[in-house]
Structure 1
C-alpha cells in the first residue's frame, strides 16, 4: 500500500547537495507537510507514494532553495541611487543621509516586499537581513512565505529608528521577544560593525543572543582601511576585536571578511563563526576579493550573500555563485580553486552552515524543510546539455544558469512561485508603491546635488551662523608687526586671549560662484600652556553680500560649520568641486577689545605662497548691519593706530589672492 504525501516533484534532475553529493538523473522529491519525506528515482517514488498533487519537472533541476547569507533587503528602494564611489562616500555621503530622511516603517516594509519578490523569482528561499524597523522586514518576509534571519541594526550613531544605542538595544530586545516563537522568522540583533559600535553594544548584543539562542549578525573586515583603523584603535583586526568583545561567544554570522588574516581564519574556524562574502558588492565598492578558497580549505563555515541592492543592484544568487567560482581562479591562477559544486554549496549546504541553519535547510534530504527551487535547464544560454560526467549538472548551474531560469519555488512545501507566477505577492502593486517612494527620494537628491547647504546638512553636526563679518586685511612689514605687538595690552587696546597656530585650509570652489564655497580646516594651536589640538572643521560659506568701506570690507553671509570627521578625499569626492585651493599659514591671534568692542587680530604668514606676507587681518562679526558700520569705523582707527598705510590694504580673502 502506497504512503500518502502532499506533493511529488517528478522527472527532474535532483541535486541533493547532501554530503555524498548525490544527483538523481530522473529523480523525484516527496513532500509531506512542510518537510521532505523522501528523495529518489521517479519510478521508485511513484511506486511508494500516493500524492495529493504531482508536479512534472521534466527538463529541470530540482535544487535546494538558495540562501542569501547577507543582505539589507529594504535597500532595494535605493537600487541605482549612487555608484562608482568609495565605501565611506557611498555610506556616509548618500546612504545614511537618505535613510535618515526616508527610512521608516513603510519604506522598510515596501522595500522588503520588493526584495522578496525578486529573490523568490531567483530561487532564493532564505535570507539574512540587517536593517532598521526590522519588525517590518519580518512581517513582509512572513507574508511572502520566505524564511529569514532578521537582524535589528544597532549603532552608536543615531539611526532612523533609534536616537541612541540604548534605545536601539531596547528595540532589538522587544523585536526578538515579539517574533521569537515564529517558525520561519528568526529575530535577532545586528551590531553594525566595530567602527560604528562600542564594546557595550557588542557585550549587550551577545547577551541577548545567548538568552534567546539566536545568532549575532555583524559586518567584519570589509575593507583594508577598516582593518588598518581597527588595528590603530583597538590593537586588533575587526575579527580579533569581535572575539574580544564577545561576538563569537554565541553563534555569529559575519558579513564580508574580505580582509580576514590567517589568524582571523583560525579564530573563526575554532569559534564556529559563519562568514559570508558578497562578491558583487565587494567588487563594486572596490573592497576586494574575499579569500573564499582559503576559508574552504580551513574548514570555515562559509556562505554567500548579495549585500544590499544599493551596493549590488540585484539580489541574484546565481550571479554570486558564478563569481564565487570565477574570482578565486582569477586571483590564484588555479582553475581548480573553487569547483562548480563547491560554488553551488556556498549558496545551499555550506550556506546553511554559515547561518547556523544546516539542521533545517541547505540540502534535499528526508526530514529537512521542503525549501526547493526548480530550475529550467534547456534555455538558449544553457543549451545543449551533457551528462557523461557525473558533476556536469554543477557546471551547468554554476556557469550557465541564471535567476530567470527559475520556474517554481517552495518554502515549507508551500508554493511561493508556480510556473513563474508569484503566489504570495501582488507584483504590480509592489512595483507601484516602490516607485512612489523612489520618486520622493529622487526629488530630494536632485535638489541636494545642486545645493551645497543641503549636502553639508546631510552629513550632520552643522551649526548655522547668519551674520555680518567686517574685515580688513593689509600686507605689512616686520616693523609694523613689532609696533602692533608693542601696543597690545595698553590702556586703549586690551586683549583677553593670545594663541599661535598653524592652519591648513583646503577650499573647494565652483565656477558657479552662487554656490558659495567650502573650507576644510586643520587647526594646530599652541597656547602658553602647550600644544592644543588639532581641530578639524568643515565650513560652508554662502555667497556674500559685499560692501566696501574705505579700509574694510563688510561681508553679509551665512556660514555653516560642522566637525570634519572624514578624510579630505571623502569631502572632495562628495562635494565634487571645480577647483581645489590649498593654503597653509602660521597665525598669531589675539582677541582684543577696542573702545568696548571685540575684534580678532591675526598676523599671518602664508607658507609656500609667492607673496607670504606678513599680513594683518582684523575681523569682527555681528548680527546687525548698523553695528557692522560702526565696527568698520573702529577698524579704520585701529589701522591708523598701527601705522598701516592705505596702499597696504588688501581687499581680498586669502583664497582669492
Structure 2
C-alpha cells in the first residue's frame, strides 16, 4: 500500500510522543516521508512496511528534538573566559570588551557552527538565538541544517555590529528580508534588556513586530539588581514598564524571568507571554530560582534554554532539562514540582509553542516535521530502565544521543555529525583561542 512506503522507518524500543504526559509507546516505529512524520506504526504493522532505509533503535528512546529557547550561539568562542563573576561585572568588564575586540561576521559564523555541532550531539534541533551579524548566524543554520531563529539584537549603544538602536534595527530587517519563506530560518526582533533599551526603541520594536509578523526575544527580570535599577530609573518594575509600552503579548519570549511576584505571573498569563527558563545560567550567575511551577500552574508557556556557553558553560539541553526539574523542586521544597514528563514537555512542545511552531514540531505526531532524536539507554548509566521518561530527565547524558533528524534529514548518525565536520569545528575553535589570547 502507498501509505506503507516511507523514506525512513525508525524502529524504536520506546517512543515518547509528548502528546500526552506519561505515555510511552513500546516497540513502535515512526515512518518518515518527505521530511514529515507520515505514520506511527504498531508492532504488528512494522514488518509489512516498506522503507528506503530502516534504522533499528533496539535500545533507544525516540522522541521530539529538543528546543533551545534561549541562546547566544557564537559565544561558544568565549566559553570559560570569565567564570565566577556577577552578571554586570561579567558583562561590562569581561564579555562586552572581548566582544568589542573580536566579534565579526567570521566570529559569529564559526562560533555558531561550533555551537550547532555541540547542540546536535546534545539532542537539540531548534535554537532560538540572540546575537549580532545575523546573516552569519542564518548561513550557519543552513549549513548545519539546524532549525534556527535568528534574534536581531538591539541596543542603544555601539558595538562591533551597530552604532545605535536604529542601526541595529535596520540591519536586522535587511537581513531578515533575504530569508523570507525559508523553512529552517526565522528572524526575530531581540531588544537586549530593559536596562539597555529605551522606551522609544521598545515602542518601535512592538510596531515593527506587528508590521512584519515577527516574534520578540528579550532578557527580562534576570536579577534582583535589574529589577531594583528599573524601579530607581523608571519608578516601576521593568515588567510593568514593558506592559505600558505594549511589549507583553503572545509575540514575546521573555528570557530568565527569575524575579516575579504573583501579580506579574498573572499578568504574563493574561498577556500570553512565553518564558525561556535558563536554570544552569541562573545558578552560575547566582541570579536566583525562577518560579517555574507557579508559572505553569498559571497557564504560562515555559520552555527551557541553555543561554550562551560563556555563562553556562554547556549547550546541553538534556542537562538543562534535568536542572530545570531539580531546581523547581529545591526552590519550592516540593518533590513533585516539575515532574519528569513536564520537564520533557517544556524542552520540546512548550518551547515549540513559544516559537509559534507547535503545529510543526515539538511532538511525535503524524503530519509534523520529523525533528526527532534517539537516546540510547543500553548503557550501564541507564540500566535497568523501568521508566524511560524518568531516565531521559534524571539519568541519561548527552553522550547517549545517538541520532538526530531535522526535517527528516539525519544530521547525527551514531554520534557522528553528518552535515558538519568535527575536525573543522575544532580547528576553527582553536584558531579563535589563539587570536583571543594574543589580544
Q: TM-score range by the shorter chain?
A: over 0.9
SS at the partner of 1:195? coil
* Structure 2 CA distance for aligned equivalents of residues 275 and 409 of structure 1: 26
Q: Which residue of 2 aligns with 1:110?
A: 110
Q: Which residue of 1 aligns with 2:376?
A: 376
Q: Give how far 1:379 is off.
A: 0.9
Task: Pick which of 237-246 and 72-81 moved more.
Answer: 237-246
Superposed counterparts of 1:516-595, under 5 Å: none
* Structure 2 CA distance for aligned equivalents of residues 376 and 276 of structure 1: 27
Q: Which residue of 2 aligns with 1:140?
A: 140
Q: Which residue of 1 aligns with 2:39?
A: 38
* Structure 1 CA distance for aligned equivalents of residues 320 and 389 of structure 2: 14
Structure 1 or 2: more strand by fraction? 1
The total of aligned residue pairs comes to 438
Q: Which residue of 2 aligns with 1:29?
A: 30
Q: Which residue of 2 aligns with 1:353?
A: 353
Q: Give how far 1:23 is off.
A: 1.5
* Structure 1 CA distance for aligned equivalents of residues 403 and 21 of structure 2: 25
TM-score, normalization: structure 2? 0.97
Matched, 1:423 2:418: yes
Q: Give how far 1:249 is off.
A: 4.3
* Structure 2 CA distance for aligned equivalents of residues 240 and 139 of structure 1: 37
* Structure 2 CA distance for aligned equivalents of residues 409 and 254 of structure 1: 28
* Structure 2 CA distance for aligned equivalents of residues 96 and 11 of structure 1: 46
Q: Give how far 1:257 is off.
A: 0.4
Q: Deviations over 1:628-656 (max 9, x none)?
A: xxxxxxxxxxxxxxxxxxxxxxxxxxxxx
* Structure 2 CA distance for aligned equivalents of residues 10 and 305 of structure 1: 29
* Structure 2 CA distance for aligned equivalents of residues 290 and 116 of structure 1: 27
Q: Which residue of 1 aligns with 2:11?
A: 10
* Structure 2 CA distance for aligned equivalents of residues 380 and 311 of structure 1: 31
Asked whether the equivalents of residues 11 and 28 of structure 1 are also in contact (C-alpha less than 8 Å), the reply is: yes
* Structure 2 CA distance for aligned equivalents of residues 393 and 351 of structure 1: 21
Asked whether the equivalents of residues 10 and 27 of structure 1 are also in contact (C-alpha less than 8 Å), the reply is: yes
SS at the partner of 1:424? coil
SS at the partner of 2:326? helix
Q: Give how far 1:354 is off.
A: 2.3
Asked whether the equivalents of residues 24 and 40 of structure 1 are also in contact (C-alpha less than 8 Å), the reply is: no
Q: Give how far 1:40 is off.
A: 3.5
- Stretches (4+) displaced over 4 A: none
Q: Give how far 1:443 is off.
A: 2.5
Asked whether the equivalents of residues 281 and 307 of structure 2 are also in contact (C-alpha less than 8 Å), the reply is: yes
Q: Which residue of 2 aligns with 1:95?
A: 95
SS at the partner of 2:58? coil
Q: Which residue of 2 aligns with 1:409?
A: 404
Bigger Rg, which one: 1
Q: Which residue of 1 aligns with 2:71?
A: 71
Asked whether the equivalents of residues 15 and 25 of structure 2 are also in contact (C-alpha less than 8 Å), the reply is: yes
* Structure 2 CA distance for aligned equivalents of residues 46 and 7 of structure 1: 14
Closer, same or farther in 2 for the Cα pair 1:46/1:260, shift >3 Å?
A: farther
Q: Which residue of 2 aligns with 1:394?
A: 389
* Structure 1 CA distance for aligned equivalents of residues 84 and 39 of structure 2: 48
Q: Give how far 1:358 is off.
A: 0.9
Q: Which residue of 2 aligns with 1:184?
A: 184
SS at the partner of 2:27? strand
SS at the partner of 1:334? coil
Q: Give how far 1:267 is off.
A: 1.4
Q: Which residue of 2 aligns with 1:317?
A: 317
Closer, same or farther in 2 for the Cα pair 1:11/1:189, shift >3 Å?
A: closer
RCO comparison, higher one (Cα < 8 Å, 6+): 2
Q: Give how far 1:73 is off.
A: 0.4
Superposed counterparts of 1:232-247, under 5 Å: 232-247=232-247
Q: Deviations over 1:507-545 (max 9, x none)?
A: xxxxxxxxxxxxxxxxxxxxxxxxxxxxxxxxxxxxxxx
Q: Give how far 1:371 is off.
A: 0.1
Superposed counterparts of 1:75-224, under 5 Å: 75-224=75-224
- Measured on the aligned residues, the alpha-carbon RMSD in Å equals 1.3
Gaps of 5+ in 1: 387-391, 445-657
SS at the partner of 1:196? coil
Matched, 1:436 2:436: no
* Structure 2 CA distance for aligned equivalents of residues 284 and 86 of structure 1: 9
* Structure 1 CA distance for aligned equivalents of residues 211 and 46 of structure 2: 43
* Structure 2 CA distance for aligned equivalents of residues 234 and 180 of structure 1: 37
* Structure 2 CA distance for aligned equivalents of residues 46 and 205 of structure 1: 54
Asked whether the equivalents of residues 250 and 274 of structure 2 are also in contact (C-alpha less than 8 Å), the reply is: no
* Structure 1 CA distance for aligned equivalents of residues 412 and 212 of structure 2: 33
Gaps of 5+ in 2: none
Matched, 1:285 2:285: yes
Q: Deviations over 1:19-73 (max 9, x none)?
A: 36531111111111111111242332443x3211111010000010001000000
Q: Give how far 1:11 is off.
A: 3.3
* Structure 1 CA distance for aligned equivalents of residues 249 and 298 of structure 2: 20
Q: Deviations over 1:485-509 (max 9, x none)?
A: xxxxxxxxxxxxxxxxxxxxxxxxx
* Structure 1 CA distance for aligned equivalents of residues 188 and 329 of structure 2: 36
SS at the partner of 2:7? strand
* Structure 2 CA distance for aligned equivalents of residues 237 and 84 of structure 1: 27
